[in-house]
Structure 1
């Protein structure tokens, strides 16, 4: 009887620890649902994104603290009961000390240029709402052409269409990503295959300040971006897609991640930061490649077209 009692207690604890928590995120004033909200379990590597109707599902329990983050809204931490509504408040914009500068638009230059064939590795979100950014350092040539007109990057997707957020941050006093540079959510739709994409951001009036900017992407963990695949496991424990190592290899059909993949360039210096568990972390260049199309070495392949 004692053994049976403890068996059921352990089974209950196991089920409780891996339960799914559902909720919906809404605007505190209008009551309208907020899509694509970044949601993390605080201090843990577990997260998700709200769907177009504001709903979300996350593998955690009501005793854990969730971190909600969305452009234009104040970040919120809360313990959430199942099917609870979460209200986010609009962020009050604080005036920044800026240099008022008139755009001339007479000259145009490109920095951080790259060719598609130079990109031979990619970063993926796996199954978490990852944010990856790279530091764009200022220079004398940038000071002469401080306005960002276009942002070009390389993507690779297995889906007909995949969505990703373009993110831009100020530089914080500690040198890491700080506050959102702009208050507008920029969603980019990317087509299937390996593609070089260019986004026109001239209407955003983005000026690179003396301390530079962080530019990157936030993966959106929604049904629309979900990709399932078959894979095998090689001798080193890495996933290999469409590659049968030997006749005794097992083929698994439950692989999944979220599209798209973003191209990386080889770099001796790591300028990338990633957001996880409600905090920013700096990526190191000595992390080995593990898993499906996730690479930690190199910098984001981001090319900028600047004007004066």
Structure 2
């Protein structure tokens, strides 16, 4: 018993809740920075004032990622201040393309009533990116007018970040295509959310483009709930206690969730633990029983895009 207690003390002493603040080179706080523990499924997001807290081992590196700044891998010093450097974009050639706007097309249309699976982040930050492959129609209508996506939220005014990425040489999401920080506020319930992008001058390049959602672990997005857990570890949100079941009141997740459609192929990548990984198949055991249309399929983000010439 004494030996066990000693080992437990040593183990716990290696981990601590660390607080810090992310700023730019002028000392201005940077809001909504994606923060991950390197090679671990642990992370958080800086608040609007740049402050954050995270429980980590003292010898672990943190990875900081924000639009318009270089990704930084570092250990926190005693001050807890993290300084990010702005990205210097080198433009070799500027091609000016004028928007005509007379002809429009839609791609990725979906039926709201048919969607029954959603992707949510739980308690860890992540980015989910969907590749938009160039086609002959897209090349003729390269300007993005707006995007519509399906959200499900248990709270009002949940915030999610929308990002656009260039395609890297290995086919993964590369540098940010746009330096604009786009935060979308969504309403409670299941509803379509449309983001007007006409003023952003976003053009789908010949190499394609990634459209991504970044979930933020901030107080505004926090939702607490009750759930039951039985002997088989089956989870039921809002369920009533039954024989051999217990009620837990400390369930936490961060809203919103984004609707997905089943697909035979995957065009999605996920940023997790500080790196990009390809999305996996939906397995029946991973999701609620009875939703067979998603079995052995990829869950692709439901995004409708309006393009113009």
TM-score range, shorter chain: over 0.9
* Distance in 1 of aligned mates of 2:298 and 2:76: 36
Is 1:193 equivalent to 2:157 in the alignment? no
| Structure 1 residues 282 and 248: alpha-carbon distance in aligned structure 2, compared to 1, 3 A threshold | same
- Provide Cα deviations, 1:47-99, integer angstroms capped at 9, x if missing partner: 00001111111110231000011001111111114551111111111215564
Which residues in structure 2 correspond to 1:89-238 (within 5 Å)? 89-95=85-91, 97=93, 99-234=95-230, 236-238=232-234
Query: What is the number of equivalent residue pairs in this alignment?
Result: 302
1:304 aligns to what? Answer: 305
Matched-pair contact (CA < 8 Å) for 2:226–2:247: yes
Distance 1:168 1:111 in 2: 17
1:11 is matched with which residue? Answer: 8
CA distance in 2, matches of 1:113, 1:96: 36
Q: Distance in 2 between matches of 1:135 and 1:85?
A: 35
Check conservation: 1:114, 1:303, Cα contact below 8 A: yes
Contact 1:152 1:302 in 2 (8 A): yes
Shift of 1:181: 0.5
Q: Which residue of 2 aligns with 1:266?
A: 262
Task: Give the alignment's TM-score, normalised by structure 2.
Answer: 0.92
The Cα of 1:290 is off from its aligned counterpart by: 3.7
Contact 2:231-2:245 at 8 Å conserved across structures: no
Q: Is the 8 A contact 1:268 1:298 kept in 2?
A: no
Distance 1:246 1:197, change over 3 A: same
- Residue 77 of structure 1 aligns to a residue in which SS? strand
What residue number does 1:87 align with? 83
Q: CA distance change for structure 1 residues 279 and 288 in 2, over 3 Å: closer, same or farther?
A: farther
Cα deviation, 1:131-152, whole Å, max 9, x if unaligned, reads: 0011111111111100001010
What's 2:236 paired with?
240
Show structure 2 runs of 5+ residues with no match.
Answer: 289-293
**Match for 2:21 among 19, 24, 45?**
24
Secondary structure of the residue that 1:159 maps to in structure 2? coil
Q: Do 1:21 and 1:82's aligned partners in 2 also have CA atoms closer than 8 Å?
A: no
Cα distance, 1:233 vs structure 2: 2.1
Quote the Cα distance in structure 1 between the aligned partners of 2:208 and 2:269: 14
Separation in structure 2 between the aligned mates of residue 218 and residue 96 of structure 1, nearest angstrom:
29
Partners of 2:227 and 2:247 within 8 A in 1: yes
Preserved CA contact (<8 Å) 1:135 1:271: yes
Cα offset for 1:209? 1.1
The CA RMSD measured in Å over matched residues stands at 1.9
